[in-house]
């Protein structure tokens, strides 16, 4: 059985933004993981977040139209395993929220972690490792450290 790794929204964004200083790192990590037989996973929350970032005006977004966002989302749905929400995701989320002490927007990250836990995934490729630190059972990995996953 192949190892599963979850992709954070920022990895998807940077893999499509050639102007980003993180473009090369994101693409290299994705290619390296796939080459080594790792199954890359996303969920619908990440795809929604992607659409928000891509269509949001610069500097906090790419300022693209919804057509581009939807086209790229279709590409991601083909390239990566789209995880369904496991039956126990809500229980996992409540436990993570309680034990981690997260509040506000960080609770979105806890939901991603709950989906990961429900699918038995412990590694997430992200540039925002601090967003997932302290979440029990979750190992955030930066793109330049992708070899540590294999």
- Residue 146 is classified by DSSP as G
pLDDT in tens, 46-74: 999 999 999 999 988 999 999 999 999 99
Q: Which long-range contacts (CB under 8 A, 24 or more apart) does 19-22 make?
A: 22/127, 22/143
Give the CA dihedral 3, 49, 16, 117, nearest 10 degrees. -10
Please state, rounded to an integer, the average pLDDT across all residues of the chain.
95
Q: Quick one: fold of 4-147?
A: Rossmann fold (3.40.50)
- Contact (Cβ atoms closer than 8 angstroms) between residue 113 and residue 138: yes
Model's pTM, two decimal places? 0.95
Q: Cα(94)–Cα(97) distance, rounded to whole angstroms? A: 5
Residue 134 confidence (pLDDT): 85
Higher pLDDT, 102 or 80: 80
Q: What are the boundaries of each domain within the chain?
A: 4-147
């Amino acid at each position: 059985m192949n190892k599963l790794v979850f992709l954070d929204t920022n990895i998807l964004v940077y893999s499509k933004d050639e102007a980003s200083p993180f473009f090369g790192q994101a693409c290299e990590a994705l290619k390296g993981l796939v080459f080594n037989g790792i199954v890359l996973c996303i969920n619908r929350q990440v795809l929604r977040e992607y659409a928000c970032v891509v269509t949001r005006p610069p500097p906090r977004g790419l300022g693209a139209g919804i057509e581009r966002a939807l086209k790229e989302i279709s590409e991601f749905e083909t390239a990566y395993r789209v995880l369904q929400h496991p039956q126990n995701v809500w229980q996992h989320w409540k436990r993570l929220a309680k034990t981690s002490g997260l509040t506000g927007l960080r609770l979105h990250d806890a939901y991603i972690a709950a989906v990961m836990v429900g699918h038995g995934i412990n590694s997430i490729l992200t540039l925002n490792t601090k967003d997932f630190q302290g979440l029990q059972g979750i190992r955030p990995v930066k793109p330049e450290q992708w070899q540590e996953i294999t």
